[in-house]
Amino acid sequence: MASTTTQAYLESKPVVEAKALLTELCRQFYHLGWVGGTGGSITLKVHDDSIPKSQQLIIMSPSGVQKERMLAEDMYILASDGSIVSSPSPKPYPHKPPKCSDCGPLFMKAYQMRNAGAVIHSHGMESCLVTMMNPASKEFRITHMEMIKGIQGHGYYDELVVPIIENSAHERDLTDSLASAIEAYPKTTAVLVRNHGIYVWGDSWISAKTQAECYHYLFDAAIKLNQMGLDWSTPTHGPIKSVQGVSRGVENRSVSC
Protein backbone atom coordinates (compact mmCIF):
# COMPACT_ATOMS: atom_id res chain seq x y z
CA MET A 1 0.00 0.00 0.00
CA ALA A 2 1.42 3.35 -1.02
CA SER A 3 2.07 6.00 1.64
CA THR A 4 -0.71 8.59 1.54
CA THR A 5 1.49 11.37 2.92
CA THR A 6 4.25 11.46 0.30
CA GLN A 7 4.30 14.46 -2.02
CA ALA A 8 3.89 12.13 -4.99
CA TYR A 9 0.68 10.72 -3.54
CA LEU A 10 -0.63 14.17 -2.62
CA GLU A 11 -0.28 15.05 -6.30
CA SER A 12 -1.70 11.74 -7.54
CA LYS A 13 -4.85 11.35 -9.64
CA PRO A 14 -7.16 10.23 -6.78
CA VAL A 15 -6.27 13.29 -4.68
CA VAL A 16 -6.47 15.74 -7.60
CA GLU A 17 -9.86 14.35 -8.63
CA ALA A 18 -11.20 14.50 -5.07
CA LYS A 19 -10.21 18.16 -4.69
CA ALA A 20 -11.79 19.06 -8.02
CA LEU A 21 -14.97 17.20 -7.08
CA LEU A 22 -15.23 19.07 -3.80
CA THR A 23 -15.05 22.44 -5.54
CA GLU A 24 -17.82 21.35 -7.92
CA LEU A 25 -20.03 20.22 -5.05
CA CYS A 26 -19.44 23.50 -3.20
CA ARG A 27 -20.71 25.43 -6.21
CA GLN A 28 -23.75 23.21 -6.57
CA PHE A 29 -24.64 23.47 -2.89
CA TYR A 30 -24.20 27.24 -2.96
CA HIS A 31 -26.85 27.49 -5.66
CA LEU A 32 -29.12 25.21 -3.61
CA GLY A 33 -28.83 27.67 -0.70
CA TRP A 34 -26.98 25.24 1.54
CA VAL A 35 -23.63 27.04 1.91
CA GLY A 36 -24.41 30.71 1.36
CA GLY A 37 -22.78 33.53 3.31
CA THR A 38 -19.63 31.39 3.80
CA GLY A 39 -21.69 29.07 6.02
CA GLY A 40 -21.80 25.29 5.79
CA SER A 41 -19.04 23.00 4.66
CA ILE A 42 -18.27 19.78 2.81
CA THR A 43 -15.69 17.05 3.18
CA LEU A 44 -15.01 13.75 1.46
CA LYS A 45 -12.49 10.94 1.47
CA VAL A 46 -10.07 10.30 -1.36
CA HIS A 47 -11.42 7.16 -2.99
CA ASP A 48 -8.57 4.72 -3.58
CA ASP A 49 -9.29 1.00 -3.69
CA SER A 50 -5.72 0.20 -2.65
CA ILE A 51 -6.22 1.90 0.73
CA PRO A 52 -8.71 0.82 3.44
CA LYS A 53 -11.51 3.35 3.78
CA SER A 54 -10.63 4.06 7.42
CA GLN A 55 -7.12 5.11 6.33
CA GLN A 56 -7.98 7.19 3.28
CA LEU A 57 -7.06 10.86 3.12
CA ILE A 58 -9.74 13.47 3.77
CA ILE A 59 -10.34 16.55 1.63
CA MET A 60 -11.94 19.43 3.53
CA SER A 61 -13.09 22.89 2.52
CA PRO A 62 -11.64 25.92 4.33
CA SER A 63 -13.59 27.99 6.83
CA GLY A 64 -15.28 31.33 6.25
CA VAL A 65 -14.84 31.52 2.47
CA GLN A 66 -17.13 31.99 -0.52
CA LYS A 67 -17.88 28.37 -1.36
CA GLU A 68 -18.94 29.07 -4.95
CA ARG A 69 -15.55 30.67 -5.76
CA MET A 70 -13.26 28.04 -4.32
CA LEU A 71 -10.61 26.31 -6.38
CA ALA A 72 -9.06 22.89 -5.92
CA GLU A 73 -5.90 24.56 -4.63
CA ASP A 74 -7.89 26.07 -1.73
CA MET A 75 -8.66 22.69 -0.15
CA TYR A 76 -7.09 21.14 2.92
CA ILE A 77 -5.84 17.56 2.94
CA LEU A 78 -6.11 15.70 6.23
CA ALA A 79 -4.86 12.32 7.39
CA SER A 80 -7.40 9.77 8.59
CA ASP A 81 -6.85 10.90 12.20
CA GLY A 82 -7.79 14.49 11.33
CA SER A 83 -4.26 15.94 11.34
CA ILE A 84 -3.52 18.38 8.53
CA VAL A 85 -1.23 16.97 5.84
CA SER A 86 -1.41 19.84 3.35
CA SER A 87 -2.68 23.42 3.71
CA PRO A 88 -3.53 25.91 0.93
CA SER A 89 -1.29 28.90 0.35
CA PRO A 90 -2.49 32.34 1.52
CA LYS A 91 -4.01 34.54 -1.19
CA PRO A 92 -3.46 38.27 -1.65
CA TYR A 93 -5.67 40.81 0.11
CA PRO A 94 -8.62 40.95 0.65
CA HIS A 95 -8.69 37.17 1.11
CA LYS A 96 -8.54 35.87 4.67
CA PRO A 97 -5.62 33.67 5.71
CA PRO A 98 -6.57 30.01 5.14
CA LYS A 99 -8.18 28.14 8.00
CA CYS A 100 -9.48 24.58 7.99
CA SER A 101 -13.23 24.21 8.41
CA ASP A 102 -14.59 24.93 11.89
CA CYS A 103 -16.77 21.86 11.28
CA GLY A 104 -13.68 19.63 11.21
CA PRO A 105 -14.10 18.03 14.67
CA LEU A 106 -17.75 17.22 13.90
CA PHE A 107 -16.89 15.79 10.49
CA MET A 108 -14.32 13.55 12.14
CA LYS A 109 -16.98 12.04 14.43
CA ALA A 110 -18.95 10.85 11.37
CA TYR A 111 -15.78 9.45 9.83
CA GLN A 112 -14.67 7.70 13.03
CA MET A 113 -18.04 6.51 14.34
CA ARG A 114 -19.77 5.64 11.05
CA ASN A 115 -16.86 5.04 8.65
CA ALA A 116 -18.39 7.69 6.38
CA GLY A 117 -17.06 8.44 2.92
CA ALA A 118 -18.31 12.04 2.87
CA VAL A 119 -20.04 14.53 5.18
CA ILE A 120 -22.12 17.59 4.28
CA HIS A 121 -22.94 20.44 6.64
CA SER A 122 -25.82 22.47 5.25
CA HIS A 123 -27.32 25.76 6.39
CA GLY A 124 -30.30 25.19 4.11
CA MET A 125 -33.32 27.17 5.34
CA GLU A 126 -35.50 24.04 5.56
CA SER A 127 -33.05 22.33 7.92
CA CYS A 128 -33.09 25.36 10.19
CA LEU A 129 -36.84 26.09 10.25
CA VAL A 130 -37.89 22.48 10.80
CA THR A 131 -36.09 22.50 14.18
CA MET A 132 -38.02 25.61 15.25
CA MET A 133 -41.58 24.31 14.73
CA ASN A 134 -41.46 22.64 18.14
CA PRO A 135 -38.67 24.07 20.30
CA ALA A 136 -39.17 21.34 22.92
CA SER A 137 -38.71 18.43 20.51
CA LYS A 138 -35.45 16.51 20.42
CA GLU A 139 -36.36 14.67 17.21
CA PHE A 140 -37.77 15.26 13.75
CA ARG A 141 -40.17 12.49 12.71
CA ILE A 142 -41.94 11.87 9.41
CA THR A 143 -43.47 8.85 7.69
CA HIS A 144 -45.29 7.76 4.52
CA MET A 145 -43.42 10.06 2.15
CA GLU A 146 -41.84 8.74 -1.05
CA MET A 147 -38.54 10.57 -0.51
CA ILE A 148 -37.92 8.64 2.72
CA LYS A 149 -36.80 5.83 0.41
CA GLY A 150 -33.76 7.95 -0.43
CA ILE A 151 -32.51 7.72 3.16
CA GLN A 152 -30.23 4.77 3.85
CA GLY A 153 -32.02 1.89 5.58
CA HIS A 154 -35.52 3.35 5.17
CA GLY A 155 -38.61 2.61 3.10
CA TYR A 156 -41.88 4.36 2.37
CA TYR A 157 -43.72 2.86 5.37
CA ASP A 158 -40.90 3.50 7.83
CA GLU A 159 -40.77 6.36 10.30
CA LEU A 160 -37.74 8.54 9.69
CA VAL A 161 -36.29 9.88 12.95
CA VAL A 162 -33.57 12.54 12.96
CA PRO A 163 -32.10 13.69 16.30
CA ILE A 164 -31.98 17.41 17.08
CA ILE A 165 -29.17 18.88 19.20
CA GLU A 166 -29.01 22.40 20.61
CA ASN A 167 -26.91 25.06 18.93
CA SER A 168 -23.90 26.81 20.47
CA ALA A 169 -21.97 29.98 19.75
CA HIS A 170 -19.01 28.05 18.35
CA GLU A 171 -19.20 25.09 15.97
CA ARG A 172 -16.56 23.04 17.76
CA ASP A 173 -18.64 23.11 20.96
CA LEU A 174 -21.23 20.92 19.20
CA THR A 175 -18.81 18.01 18.86
CA ASP A 176 -19.75 16.08 22.01
CA SER A 177 -23.52 16.47 21.57
CA LEU A 178 -23.28 15.39 17.92
CA ALA A 179 -21.25 12.33 18.94
CA SER A 180 -23.83 11.50 21.61
CA ALA A 181 -26.63 11.75 19.03
CA ILE A 182 -24.77 9.48 16.61
CA GLU A 183 -24.36 6.92 19.38
CA ALA A 184 -27.95 7.19 20.59
CA TYR A 185 -29.45 6.86 17.10
CA PRO A 186 -27.54 4.04 15.37
CA LYS A 187 -29.82 4.13 12.33
CA THR A 188 -29.50 7.84 11.62
CA THR A 189 -27.37 9.31 8.82
CA ALA A 190 -27.95 12.90 9.93
CA VAL A 191 -28.11 15.18 12.94
CA LEU A 192 -30.06 18.45 13.00
CA VAL A 193 -28.76 21.46 14.93
CA ARG A 194 -31.53 23.71 16.19
CA ASN A 195 -31.67 27.19 14.62
CA HIS A 196 -28.60 26.23 12.60
CA GLY A 197 -28.67 23.42 10.02
CA ILE A 198 -27.85 19.76 9.51
CA TYR A 199 -24.94 17.31 9.25
CA VAL A 200 -25.46 14.48 6.75
CA TRP A 201 -23.08 11.63 5.95
CA GLY A 202 -22.97 8.66 3.62
CA ASP A 203 -20.77 5.79 2.50
CA SER A 204 -19.69 7.92 -0.47
CA TRP A 205 -20.13 11.49 -1.69
CA ILE A 206 -22.99 10.29 -3.91
CA SER A 207 -24.77 8.75 -0.92
CA ALA A 208 -24.24 11.85 1.23
CA LYS A 209 -25.45 14.19 -1.55
CA THR A 210 -28.50 12.06 -2.37
CA GLN A 211 -29.53 11.81 1.25
CA ALA A 212 -28.98 15.53 1.87
CA GLU A 213 -31.32 16.31 -1.03
CA CYS A 214 -33.95 13.94 0.39
CA TYR A 215 -33.66 15.36 3.89
CA HIS A 216 -34.13 18.92 2.63
CA TYR A 217 -37.15 17.82 0.58
CA LEU A 218 -38.74 16.12 3.61
CA PHE A 219 -38.08 19.12 5.86
CA ASP A 220 -39.67 21.43 3.30
CA ALA A 221 -42.67 19.08 3.04
CA ALA A 222 -43.08 19.05 6.83
CA ILE A 223 -42.97 22.84 6.99
CA LYS A 224 -45.59 23.18 4.26
CA LEU A 225 -47.83 20.48 5.74
CA ASN A 226 -47.64 22.31 9.05
CA GLN A 227 -48.68 25.55 7.34
CA MET A 228 -51.66 23.70 5.87
CA GLY A 229 -52.66 22.41 9.30
CA LEU A 230 -51.70 18.84 8.41
CA ASP A 231 -49.71 16.43 10.57
CA TRP A 232 -46.55 15.32 8.76
CA SER A 233 -45.66 12.74 11.45
CA THR A 234 -48.68 10.43 10.91
CA PRO A 235 -49.32 7.97 8.06
CA THR A 236 -52.50 9.74 6.90
CA HIS A 237 -51.08 13.29 7.11
CA GLY A 238 -54.53 14.33 8.29
CA PRO A 239 -55.51 17.53 10.08
CA ILE A 240 -53.53 18.35 13.19
CA LYS A 241 -55.73 17.21 16.05
CA SER A 242 -56.72 19.38 18.97
CA VAL A 243 -55.88 18.64 22.58
CA GLN A 244 -58.85 18.84 24.97
CA GLY A 245 -60.76 20.86 22.41
CA VAL A 246 -58.01 23.42 21.90
CA SER A 247 -56.42 23.70 18.46
CA ARG A 248 -52.76 22.73 18.57
CA GLY A 249 -50.69 25.55 17.19
CA VAL A 250 -46.93 25.56 16.79
CA GLU A 251 -46.55 26.98 20.28
CA ASN A 252 -48.34 24.13 22.05
CA ARG A 253 -47.98 21.13 19.79
CA SER A 254 -47.16 17.96 21.69
CA VAL A 255 -46.30 15.69 18.78
CA SER A 256 -42.68 15.30 17.80
CA CYS A 257 -41.58 17.45 14.91
Q: Which residues are catalytic?
A: 146
Fill in the DSSP letter of residue 231. Answer: -
Count of other CB atoms within 10 angstroms of residue 143: 18
CA 115 to each of CA 56, 119, 145, 202: distance values in angstroms, whole numbers, following the listed order: 11, 11, 28, 9
Closest CA to 194 of 249, 108, 130: 130
* DSSP of 53-110: GGGS-EEEPBSSS-GGG--GGG-EEE-TTS-EEE-PPP-STTSPPP-B-TTHHHHHHH
CA-to-CA distance for 65 and 70, rounded, in angstroms? 8
CA 2 to each of CA 14, 39, 82, 115, 127: distance values in angstroms, whole numbers, following the listed order: 12, 35, 19, 21, 40
